[in-house]
Protein backbone atom coordinates (compact mmCIF):
# COMPACT_ATOMS: atom_id res chain seq x y z
CA UNK A 1 0.00 0.00 0.00
CA UNK A 2 1.61 3.22 -1.18
CA UNK A 3 -0.86 5.52 0.59
CA UNK A 4 -0.98 6.06 4.34
CA UNK A 5 -4.05 8.29 4.68
CA UNK A 6 -7.09 7.87 2.44
CA UNK A 7 -9.78 10.52 2.34
CA UNK A 8 -13.19 9.54 0.97
CA UNK A 9 -15.62 12.31 0.05
CA UNK A 10 -19.21 11.13 -0.25
CA UNK A 11 -20.24 8.20 1.92
CA UNK A 12 -22.88 6.51 -0.17
CA UNK A 13 -22.76 3.05 -1.68
CA UNK A 14 -19.49 3.62 -3.55
CA UNK A 15 -17.66 5.64 -0.92
CA UNK A 16 -18.83 3.45 1.93
CA UNK A 17 -17.88 0.24 0.14
CA UNK A 18 -14.45 1.68 -0.61
CA UNK A 19 -13.93 2.57 3.05
CA UNK A 20 -14.86 -0.96 4.13
CA UNK A 21 -12.31 -2.42 1.72
CA UNK A 22 -9.54 -0.05 2.76
CA UNK A 23 -10.05 -0.92 6.40
CA UNK A 24 -10.28 -4.64 5.64
CA UNK A 25 -7.22 -4.77 3.38
CA UNK A 26 -5.04 -2.09 4.99
CA UNK A 27 -5.81 -1.97 8.72
CA UNK A 28 -2.94 0.45 9.45
CA UNK A 29 -4.07 3.09 6.95
CA UNK A 30 -5.91 6.16 8.26
CA UNK A 31 -9.33 6.68 6.65
CA UNK A 32 -11.11 10.04 6.83
CA UNK A 33 -14.69 10.25 5.64
CA UNK A 34 -16.41 13.45 4.56
CA UNK A 35 -20.18 13.77 4.14
CA UNK A 36 -22.73 16.57 4.27
CA UNK A 37 -25.43 14.96 6.36
CA UNK A 38 -25.21 14.33 10.09
CA UNK A 39 -27.24 11.13 9.69
CA UNK A 40 -24.66 9.76 7.25
CA UNK A 41 -21.80 10.58 9.60
CA UNK A 42 -23.62 8.91 12.49
CA UNK A 43 -24.04 5.73 10.42
CA UNK A 44 -20.40 5.90 9.34
CA UNK A 45 -19.25 6.20 12.95
CA UNK A 46 -20.85 2.84 13.71
CA UNK A 47 -19.20 0.93 10.84
CA UNK A 48 -16.65 -1.67 11.89
CA UNK A 49 -14.45 -4.31 10.30
CA UNK A 50 -13.20 -7.09 12.57
CA UNK A 51 -14.17 -5.03 15.60
CA UNK A 52 -12.24 -1.94 14.49
CA UNK A 53 -13.90 1.33 13.39
CA UNK A 54 -13.77 1.81 9.63
CA UNK A 55 -13.08 5.53 9.89
CA UNK A 56 -10.32 7.13 11.93
CA UNK A 57 -11.96 10.54 11.41
CA UNK A 58 -15.26 11.91 10.11
CA UNK A 59 -16.12 15.45 9.07
CA UNK A 60 -18.44 17.65 7.06
CA UNK A 61 -15.69 19.88 5.64
CA UNK A 62 -12.97 19.17 3.08
CA UNK A 63 -10.41 20.82 5.36
CA UNK A 64 -10.34 17.52 7.28
CA UNK A 65 -8.34 16.08 4.36
CA UNK A 66 -5.22 18.18 4.90
CA UNK A 67 -3.14 15.11 5.82
CA UNK A 68 -4.57 12.74 3.22
CA UNK A 69 -2.20 11.50 0.52
CA UNK A 70 -5.05 9.92 -1.47
CA UNK A 71 -8.47 11.54 -1.85
CA UNK A 72 -11.28 9.71 -3.63
CA UNK A 73 -14.28 11.81 -4.66
CA UNK A 74 -17.43 9.66 -4.56
CA UNK A 75 -20.09 12.32 -5.09
CA UNK A 76 -22.22 13.13 -8.19
CA UNK A 77 -20.26 14.47 -11.16
CA UNK A 78 -21.27 18.12 -10.83
CA UNK A 79 -20.53 17.99 -7.11
CA UNK A 80 -17.06 16.60 -7.83
CA UNK A 81 -16.44 19.50 -10.19
CA UNK A 82 -17.58 21.97 -7.53
CA UNK A 83 -15.39 20.35 -4.84
CA UNK A 84 -12.13 20.51 -6.79
CA UNK A 85 -11.42 24.24 -6.22
CA UNK A 86 -12.07 23.79 -2.48
CA UNK A 87 -9.53 20.97 -2.35
CA UNK A 88 -6.86 23.11 -4.01
CA UNK A 89 -6.05 25.02 -0.85
CA UNK A 90 -6.31 22.02 1.46
CA UNK A 91 -4.12 19.21 0.17
CA UNK A 92 -0.41 18.86 0.82
CA UNK A 93 2.07 18.66 -2.07
CA UNK A 94 2.32 15.13 -3.43
CA UNK A 95 -1.29 14.21 -2.71
CA UNK A 96 -3.18 12.20 -5.31
CA UNK A 97 -6.84 12.91 -6.08
CA UNK A 98 -9.14 10.61 -8.04
CA UNK A 99 -12.86 10.09 -8.45
CA UNK A 100 -15.44 7.43 -9.28
CA UNK A 101 -17.58 9.56 -11.59
CA UNK A 102 -19.21 7.96 -14.62
CA UNK A 103 -18.08 10.69 -17.04
CA UNK A 104 -14.50 11.82 -17.33
CA UNK A 105 -13.96 14.76 -19.70
CA UNK A 106 -15.75 17.39 -17.62
CA UNK A 107 -14.07 16.28 -14.40
CA UNK A 108 -10.56 16.14 -15.87
CA UNK A 109 -10.98 19.56 -17.47
CA UNK A 110 -12.11 21.01 -14.15
CA UNK A 111 -9.24 19.37 -12.26
CA UNK A 112 -6.67 20.76 -14.70
CA UNK A 113 -7.93 24.26 -13.94
CA UNK A 114 -8.65 23.95 -10.22
CA UNK A 115 -5.81 21.93 -8.72
CA UNK A 116 -2.21 23.12 -8.29
CA UNK A 117 0.64 21.39 -10.09
CA UNK A 118 1.79 19.92 -6.76
CA UNK A 119 -1.36 17.75 -6.58
CA UNK A 120 -1.95 14.93 -9.07
CA UNK A 121 -5.40 14.18 -10.42
CA UNK A 122 -6.16 10.84 -12.09
CA UNK A 123 -9.67 10.34 -13.45
CA UNK A 124 -11.25 7.10 -12.28
CA UNK A 125 -14.39 5.12 -13.02
CA UNK A 126 -15.02 1.69 -11.48
CA UNK A 127 -17.69 -0.25 -13.34
CA UNK A 128 -19.39 -1.27 -10.12
CA UNK A 129 -22.49 -0.22 -8.27
CA UNK A 130 -26.11 -1.05 -7.65
CA UNK A 131 -29.60 0.34 -7.93
CA UNK A 132 -29.39 0.62 -4.14
CA UNK A 133 -28.09 3.90 -2.81
CA UNK A 134 -26.75 5.12 0.51
CA UNK A 135 -24.25 3.99 3.11
CA UNK A 136 -26.65 1.38 4.48
CA UNK A 137 -26.06 -0.67 1.31
CA UNK A 138 -22.26 -0.42 1.32
CA UNK A 139 -20.51 -3.77 1.26
CA UNK A 140 -16.94 -5.06 1.15
CA UNK A 141 -15.79 -6.52 -2.13
CA UNK A 142 -18.03 -4.30 -4.28
CA UNK A 143 -15.12 -3.54 -6.62
CA UNK A 144 -13.74 -7.07 -6.84
CA UNK A 145 -13.55 -8.15 -10.47
CA UNK A 146 -14.72 -4.77 -11.81
CA UNK A 147 -13.04 -2.87 -14.62
CA UNK A 148 -11.68 0.41 -13.18
CA UNK A 149 -11.07 2.99 -15.89
CA UNK A 150 -8.11 5.33 -15.33
CA UNK A 151 -7.64 8.55 -17.30
CA UNK A 152 -4.06 9.75 -16.83
CA UNK A 153 -3.07 13.32 -17.72
CA UNK A 154 0.39 13.86 -19.18
CA UNK A 155 3.05 14.07 -16.51
CA UNK A 156 1.06 12.12 -13.89
CA UNK A 157 2.38 8.67 -14.70
CA UNK A 158 4.10 8.17 -11.33
CA UNK A 159 0.96 9.06 -9.40
CA UNK A 160 -1.04 6.82 -11.72
CA UNK A 161 1.19 3.85 -10.90
CA UNK A 162 0.48 4.34 -7.20
CA UNK A 163 -3.23 4.51 -7.89
CA UNK A 164 -3.08 1.50 -10.19
CA UNK A 165 -1.52 -0.55 -7.37
CA UNK A 166 -4.28 0.60 -5.00
CA UNK A 167 -7.03 -0.34 -7.47
CA UNK A 168 -5.44 -3.73 -8.08
CA UNK A 169 -5.27 -4.39 -4.33
CA UNK A 170 -9.03 -3.83 -4.16
CA UNK A 171 -9.44 -6.71 -6.62
CA UNK A 172 -10.42 -4.47 -9.55
CA UNK A 173 -8.87 -4.45 -13.01
CA UNK A 174 -7.35 -1.06 -13.91
CA UNK A 175 -7.72 -0.05 -17.56
CA UNK A 176 -6.02 3.07 -18.88
CA UNK A 177 -8.28 4.89 -21.34
CA UNK A 178 -8.59 8.25 -23.08
CA UNK A 179 -11.31 10.45 -21.48
CA UNK A 180 -13.27 11.03 -24.69
CA UNK A 181 -13.08 7.36 -25.64
CA UNK A 182 -14.27 6.47 -22.14
CA UNK A 183 -17.27 8.78 -22.38
CA UNK A 184 -18.21 7.46 -25.82
CA UNK A 185 -18.04 3.85 -24.62
CA UNK A 186 -20.02 4.29 -21.42
CA UNK A 187 -22.67 6.31 -23.27
CA UNK A 188 -23.55 3.02 -24.96
CA UNK A 189 -22.69 0.49 -22.26
CA UNK A 190 -24.06 2.32 -19.20
CA UNK A 191 -25.81 5.62 -19.81
CA UNK A 192 -28.10 4.57 -22.66
CA UNK A 193 -29.33 1.46 -20.77
CA UNK A 194 -30.09 3.62 -17.76
CA UNK A 195 -32.09 6.18 -19.74
CA UNK A 196 -33.91 3.38 -21.56
CA UNK A 197 -34.77 1.69 -18.26
CA UNK A 198 -36.03 4.94 -16.79
CA UNK A 199 -38.11 5.69 -19.89
CA UNK A 200 -39.58 2.18 -19.90
CA UNK A 201 -40.45 2.56 -16.22
CA UNK A 202 -42.18 5.87 -16.85
CA UNK A 203 -44.21 4.48 -19.78
CA UNK A 204 -45.30 1.30 -18.02
CA UNK A 205 -45.81 2.46 -14.44
CA UNK A 206 -47.12 5.84 -15.60
CA UNK A 207 -49.87 4.16 -17.60
CA UNK A 208 -53.51 4.77 -16.71
CA UNK A 209 -53.82 1.03 -16.13
CA UNK A 210 -50.65 0.73 -14.03
CA UNK A 211 -52.54 -0.77 -11.08
CA UNK A 212 -53.96 -3.48 -13.30
CA UNK A 213 -50.49 -4.22 -14.68
CA UNK A 214 -48.90 -5.00 -11.32
CA UNK A 215 -49.98 -8.68 -11.09
CA UNK A 216 -48.48 -9.23 -14.55
CA UNK A 217 -45.09 -7.63 -13.87
CA UNK A 218 -42.49 -10.39 -13.62
CA UNK A 219 -38.76 -10.92 -14.01
CA UNK A 220 -38.36 -9.42 -17.46
CA UNK A 221 -39.67 -6.00 -16.49
CA UNK A 222 -37.99 -6.03 -13.09
CA UNK A 223 -34.59 -7.00 -14.52
CA UNK A 224 -34.85 -4.54 -17.37
CA UNK A 225 -35.77 -1.58 -15.17
CA UNK A 226 -33.77 -2.33 -12.01
CA UNK A 227 -31.29 0.51 -12.56
CA UNK A 228 -34.10 3.06 -12.86
CA UNK A 229 -34.24 3.10 -9.04
CA UNK A 230 -30.70 4.52 -8.78
CA UNK A 231 -29.86 8.00 -7.44
CA UNK A 232 -31.60 10.60 -9.70
CA UNK A 233 -29.13 13.41 -8.87
CA UNK A 234 -26.17 11.25 -9.82
CA UNK A 235 -27.73 10.22 -13.12
CA UNK A 236 -28.87 13.76 -13.93
CA UNK A 237 -25.23 14.86 -13.77
CA UNK A 238 -24.05 11.89 -15.82
CA UNK A 239 -26.52 12.64 -18.61
CA UNK A 240 -25.69 16.34 -18.72
CA UNK A 241 -21.91 15.92 -18.71
CA UNK A 242 -22.05 13.31 -21.49
CA UNK A 243 -24.88 14.77 -23.50
CA UNK A 244 -23.05 14.72 -26.86
CA UNK A 245 -22.16 11.02 -26.81
CA UNK A 246 -25.42 10.09 -25.08
CA UNK A 247 -27.37 12.11 -27.64
CA UNK A 248 -25.83 10.08 -30.45
CA UNK A 249 -26.62 6.83 -28.64
CA UNK A 250 -30.22 7.91 -28.03
CA UNK A 251 -30.66 8.76 -31.71
CA UNK A 252 -29.44 5.27 -32.60
CA UNK A 253 -31.89 3.74 -30.13
CA UNK A 254 -34.78 5.85 -31.44
CA UNK A 255 -33.97 4.78 -35.01
CA UNK A 256 -33.79 1.13 -33.92
CA UNK A 257 -37.14 1.39 -32.12
CA UNK A 258 -38.65 2.96 -35.22
CA UNK A 259 -37.52 -0.07 -37.24
CA UNK A 260 -39.24 -2.38 -34.76
CA UNK A 261 -42.38 -0.23 -34.81
CA UNK A 262 -42.54 -0.30 -38.58
CA UNK A 263 -42.05 -4.09 -38.76
CA UNK A 264 -44.82 -4.64 -36.20
CA UNK A 265 -47.21 -2.19 -37.89
CA UNK A 266 -46.62 -3.84 -41.25
CA UNK A 267 -47.10 -7.32 -39.85
CA UNK A 268 -43.68 -8.19 -41.31
CA UNK A 269 -43.01 -11.48 -39.53
CA UNK A 270 -39.72 -12.17 -41.32
CA UNK A 271 -38.25 -8.76 -40.45
CA UNK A 272 -39.44 -8.96 -36.86
CA UNK A 273 -37.96 -12.43 -36.42
CA UNK A 274 -34.69 -11.22 -37.94
CA UNK A 275 -34.53 -8.36 -35.43
CA UNK A 276 -35.21 -10.72 -32.54
CA UNK A 277 -32.67 -13.25 -33.80
CA UNK A 278 -29.96 -10.62 -34.15
CA UNK A 279 -30.62 -9.42 -30.61
CA UNK A 280 -30.60 -12.95 -29.21
CA UNK A 281 -27.29 -13.82 -30.87
CA UNK A 282 -25.63 -10.58 -29.77
CA UNK A 283 -26.83 -11.04 -26.19
CA UNK A 284 -25.56 -14.62 -26.11
CA UNK A 285 -22.12 -13.27 -27.01
CA UNK A 286 -21.88 -11.64 -23.58
CA UNK A 287 -21.93 -15.07 -21.95
CA UNK A 288 -18.96 -16.45 -23.92
**Is the pLDDT assigned to residue 124 strictly greater than 90?**
yes
- The pLDDT tens digits for 49-107 are 999 999 999 999 999 999 999 999 999 999 999 999 999 999 999 999 999 999 999 99
Are 157 and 190 members of one domain? no
Are 135 and 204 members of one domain? no
Are 170 and 67 members of one domain? yes
Q: Alpha helix (H) ranges present in 26-100?
A: 38-45, 77-88
User: Of 177, 205, 235, which residue constitutes the final position of a domain?
Assistant: 177
* Domain total in the chain: 2
Coil/strand/helix, residue 61:
coil
Are 154 and 22 members of one domain? yes
Calpha distance 279→283 (Å, rounded):
6
Q: What is the DSSP string of 245-272?
A: HHHHHHHHHHHHHHHHHHHHHTT-HHHH
Residue 132 has a pLDDT of: 76
Residue 130 has a pLDDT of: 75
Four-point Cα dihedral 239, 88, 99, 155, nearest 10:
110
Residue 70 has a pLDDT of: 98
- The pLDDT tens digits for 15-52 are 999 999 999 999 999 999 999 999 999 999 999 999 99
- The pLDDT tens digits for 127-175 are 997 777 889 899 999 999 999 999 999 999 999 999 999 999 999 999 9
Are 155 and 264 members of one domain? no
Q: Looking at residue 232, which CATH number applies to its domain? A: 1.10.3660.10
Are 172 and 213 members of one domain? no
Are 100 and 203 members of one domain? no
Q: What percent of the chain has pLDDT over 90?
A: 94
**Is the pLDDT assigned to residue 267 strictly greater than 80?**
yes
Are 45 and 169 members of one domain? yes
CB proximity list for 45: less than 8 A, separation 6 or greater: 53, 55, 58
Give the residue-averaged pLDDT of 219-242.
Answer: 94
Residue 77, phi then psi, degrees to nearest 5 = -55, -50
Domain that includes residue 213, residue range: 181-287
Give the residue-averaged pLDDT of 111-137.
Answer: 92
Cα distances (angstroms) measured from residue 211 to each of 105, 208, 217: 42, 8, 11
Q: Looking at residue 106, which CATH number applies to its domain? A: 3.40.50.720
- The pLDDT tens digits for 169-201 are 999 999 999 999 999 999 999 999 999 999 999
Coil/strand/helix, residue 58:
strand
User: Of 177, 198, 229, which residue constitutes the final position of a domain?
Assistant: 177
Are 188 and 139 members of one domain? no
Residue 9 has a pLDDT of: 98
Amino acid sequence: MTFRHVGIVGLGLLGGSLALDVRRLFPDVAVTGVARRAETLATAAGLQVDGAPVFTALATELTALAQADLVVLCTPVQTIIAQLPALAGVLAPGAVVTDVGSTKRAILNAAATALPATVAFIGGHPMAGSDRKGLAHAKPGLYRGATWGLCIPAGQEAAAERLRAFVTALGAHPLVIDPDEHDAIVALSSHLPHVAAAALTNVTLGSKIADELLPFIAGGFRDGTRVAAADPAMWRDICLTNRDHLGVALRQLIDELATWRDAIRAGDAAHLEALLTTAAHRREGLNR
